[in-house]
């Protein structure tokens, strides 16, 4: 997922994406704690995707606030 794809989404879609990523992050951390995690690099990717979604949400909120 890249920032360009995220800019095309609505804030509601971004919030849904954020919830899904946080659930995935929780599941990956749970797998890591129990020793069942196969792809450790996925943790890093999901963490960065969460940050990317939050950044785009904040940018959209700032743009909406300045437009009013």
Mean pLDDT of 17-28: 97
pTM above 0.95, yes or no: no
What's the pLDDT band for 67 if we cut at 50, 70, 90? confident
Q: Any idea of the CA torsion for 55, 60, 61, 63, to the nearest 10 degrees?
A: 120
Asked whether residue 34 carries a pLDDT value surpassing 90, the answer given is yes
43, 1 contact by CB (below 8 A): no
Nearest residue to 28 via CA among 17, 16, 18, 42 = 42
CA–CA dist 56, 3 (Å, integer): 7
Mean pLDDT of 10-29: 97
CATH number of 1-62: 1.10.287.310
Any idea where the domains of the chain sit in the sequence? 1-62
């Amino acid at each position: 997922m890249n920032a360009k794809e995220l800019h095309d989404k609505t804030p509601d879609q971004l919030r849904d994406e954020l919830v899904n990523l946080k659930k995935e992050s929780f599941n990956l951390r749970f797998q890591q704690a129990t020793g069942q995690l196969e792809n450790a690099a996925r943790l890093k990717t999901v963490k960065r995707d969460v940050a990317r979604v939050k950044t785009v949400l904040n940018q959209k909120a700032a743009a909406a606030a300045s437009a009013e």
